[in-house]
């Protein structure tokens, strides 16, 4: 029993000593951790945002002083300091406008465009006929003057249309007319007389803000707006994937080749988006949506024409004025329009076939010959009689322009360009 009592006493003494040592060690470790890893994230935030305008940290001259105050603060005071610190962070790093805010601001400048055109067809039995075809596209309100509203879109949306109906943000419609186009750049301007637009609609729409497309960087956010599939305006979002991409495409309807140095984006560019806006992070139009790369091997590649490229063309088209008949330009040709069916049957390009070139006329002096097929004047499509007449109406006698034409060479048509100085019909 004596041995057992001694053993029990020793065990109790050892346990007591161990408890005292353990408690001391735990307190020391706790104190050490508390000193080295001060769990006060709001203090760190205050220091990090010490220069924030309007933040509480601006009043904290000495971070150490803040820590001392925190150590003695009550839980309620600490909670208040945390809220103050969070407030200073929010002020210092503002989120800015949301995508919804940006879209809401620019949407009044975007329109839906519905076109009606006539398509020719022939059957295997040789029967020929026509039918009306409806297409959808998008446009951007770019300018408003005393008489007209000017809407920018792609040339492949507007060219060849019998009617152009523009739908505004409030759902109202107005019929527009093609002011002019540059098919080589795939740009066109539609004008709508202000007299044809309701006053309520005029107060609802706006001119689009234009941004600097040369300032874009790969990785910048991008938003595409357009009349996708003709269902009405919708948006897609992505990034700027690449810049200055050389893109060449052929219009399946006109056969005209289009070449542009484009912005590449993974924001979806769907049918009907053509002519719509590509926005930057500020909600400014930096590109005109043009084309989508379609392939089973590729996803998320769409292209837009940079505004730095588009604006000079747009301004030139809008600035054009119809020349009075007495000063009108004269080319001196007799031409026949090559339809799509004729082009397919005879393996010829679309355009105006020069059946005759007048002797001594501007056309002959420029080197044009019978059998040539004229396709463009200064980049403006003249593949139809209507397009040729409209384009020629902007030139006066004595003006100089570049004529694009195709000439047969060993069974193939080769593209050529020549400068022509227009004559006068009176001459």
How far is C-alpha 220 from the chain's CA centre?
13
Strands (E) in 73-153, as ranges, are 110-122, 128-144, 148-153
DSSP-derived letter for residue 259 is E
Assigned token pair, 389: 């007449």
Q: What are phi and psi of 110, to 5 degrees?
A: -105, 140
Distances (CA, A) of 72 to 32, 66, 82, 228, 257: 17, 10, 15, 62, 76
List alpha helices for 118-175, DSSP H: 155-158
Distances (CA, A) of 41 to 51, 52, 67, 81, 398: 17, 17, 11, 10, 77
Is 173 known to be catalytic? no
Choose, from 138, 156, 182, 383, the residue flagged as catalytic: 156
Question: How many helices and strands in the chain, by DSSP H and E?
Answer: 11, 20
Choose, from 88, 135, 186, 251, the residue flagged as catalytic: 186
Choose, from 274, 372, 381, 383, the residue flagged as catalytic: 274
Exposed/middle/buried for residue 39 (C-beta within 10 Å: 0-12, 13-18, 19+): exposed
Is 186 known to be catalytic? yes
Three-state DSSP class for residue 427: coil
DSSP assignments along 313-365, one per residue: HHHHHHH--PPPGGGBEE--EEEEEE-HHHHHHHT--SEEEEEEE-TTSHHHH
Active-site positions read: 156, 186, 274
């Amino acid at each position: 029993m004596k041995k057992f009592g001694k053993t029990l006493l020793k065990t109790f003494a050892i346990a007591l000593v161990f408890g005292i040592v353990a408690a001391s060690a735990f307190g020391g470790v706790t104190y050490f951790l508390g000193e080295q890893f001060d769990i006060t994230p709001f203090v760190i935030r205050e220091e990090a945002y010490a220069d924030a305008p309007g933040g509480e940290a601006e009043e904290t001259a000495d971070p150490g002083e803040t820590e001392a105050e925190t150590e003695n603060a009550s839980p309620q005071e600490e909670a208040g300091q945390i809220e103050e610190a969070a407030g200073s962070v929010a002020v210092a790093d503002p989120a800015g406008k949301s995508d919804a805010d940006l879209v809401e601001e620019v949407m009044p400048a975007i329109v839906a465009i519905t076109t009606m055109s006539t398509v020719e067809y022939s059957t295997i039995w040789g029967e020929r006929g026509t039918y009306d075809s409806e297409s959808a596209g998008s446009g951007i309100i770019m300018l408003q003057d005393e008489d007209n509203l000017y809407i920018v879109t792609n040339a492949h949306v507007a060219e060849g249309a019998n009617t152009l109906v523009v739908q505004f943000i409030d759902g109202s419609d107005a019929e527009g007319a093609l002011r002019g186009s540059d098919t080589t750049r795939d740009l066109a301007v539609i004008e709508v007389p202000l007299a044809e637009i309701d006053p309520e609609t005029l107060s609802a729409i706006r001119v689009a803000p234009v941004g600097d497309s040369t300032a874009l960087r790969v990785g910048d956010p991008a938003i595409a707006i357009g009349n996708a599939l003709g269902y009405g305006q919708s948006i897609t979002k992505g990034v700027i994937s690449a810049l200055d991409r050389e893109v060449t495409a052929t219009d399946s309807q006109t056969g005209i080749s289009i070449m542009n140095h484009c912005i590449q984006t993974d924001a979806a560019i769907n049918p009907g988006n053509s002519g719509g806006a590509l926005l930057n992070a500020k909600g400014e139009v930096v590109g005109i949506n043009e084309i989508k790369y379609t392939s089973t091997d590729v996803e998320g590649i769409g292209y837009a024409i940079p505004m730095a490229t588009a604006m000079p063309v747009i301004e030139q088209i809008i600035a054009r004025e119809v020349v009075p008949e007495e000063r009108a330009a004269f080319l001196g040709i007799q031409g026949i329009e090559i339809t799509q069916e004729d082009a397919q049957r005879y393996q010829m390009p679309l355009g105006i076939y020069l059946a005759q070139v007048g002797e001594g006329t501007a056309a002959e002096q420029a080197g044009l010959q019978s059998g040539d097929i004229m396709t463009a004047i200064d980049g403006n499509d003249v593949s139809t009689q209507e397009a040729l007449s409209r384009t020629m109406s902007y030139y006066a006698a004595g003006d100089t322009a570049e004529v694009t034409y195709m000439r047969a060479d060993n069974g193939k048509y080769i593209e050529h360009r020549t400068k022509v100085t227009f004559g006068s019909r009176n001459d």
